Every structure is written in C-alpha cells, then in structure tokens.
Amino acid sequence: MRLIIKRKDLEKILKLAENSEIEVCGFLLGKNSDGAVLVETVRETANRLNSPVEFEIDPPEIAEVLDEAEKMGLEIVGIFHSHLGCPPVPSEKDFKGMELWRNVWLIVTSSGDFRAWVLRGENLGEVEIEVTS
C-alpha cells in the first residue's frame, strides 16, 4: 500500500503542526486505487480536546467533512494528526482510534518528520509515502 500526496498538501499539514501548541488533526480526502491511497485534498479540523498529547474530532464536524467529500466525489481515505515532542509513530490512543477508523493515518511532527500507518487486522503496518508535485 502507498499513500500518494501532493507536496503542497503535505506542506500544509507540516506547517499546521509547526505552528501549533496542540495536536493538529484532520482528514485526507481522495480515492483508493489499485493498492494506492490517492489524496486529492486535505481538510483541517478542530481538535476538540485542545490538547498537546491527544486529539479528537467532533462528530458533527466529521459529518460535515463527509458531506464535503461526497460533493467533491471523494471519500475520507485517511486521517492526519501531529505529535509534539515524540516521533511520528502511533500512540496507544492512536492505535485504539485506528481500530475504529481503519484507513491510513498520517502522523507528522512539529520538526517536519512524517510517517503513515494502517492497521490490518491487529497488525500495525507502515505505509509507503509518495510525495508528488
């Protein structure tokens, strides 16, 4: 599996993380195609916990993003969020979230590191990231 994301979208996420004192979060909107996750756009959401160590997206905002994606002919293909002061590896809470949202999770750091993950069954797997222009 590969996550294909435009440089401008990845840079937008990294900039959000760099300038925030709390975990930033949002959705990757796009399509799944032949083992690849194609990101067409990213949609920032509010972290309703306002926390530097965890995030949560408000259900009404999730519904709003689902409607936006449908109008664009896209779907939610992933979730992104940031980690402050720790590597871009899923935390225990992230793992629990991945059990509910079984799509790609892109985790970035305020220092510019990023990695993507997916949960297959009970196994955590890293996803290759391809950045396009």
Distance CA 105, CA 99 (A): 11
**Which of 18, 21, 23, 130 is the catalytic position?**
23
Pick the closest to residue 39 from 3, 69, 12 (CA basis). 3
Q: How many CA atoms, within 13 angstroms, populate the side-chain half-sphere of residue 56?
A: 9
Name 127's bridge partners. Answer: 116
Catalytic residue list contains 23 = yes
How much of the chain is in helix, strand and coil states, percent to nearest 5? 25, 40, 30
Distance CA 40, CA 74 (A): 8
Which two three-digit tokens encode residue 4?
Answer: 């294909």
Which two three-digit tokens encode residue 89?
Answer: 């590896």
Catalytic (active-site) positions: 23
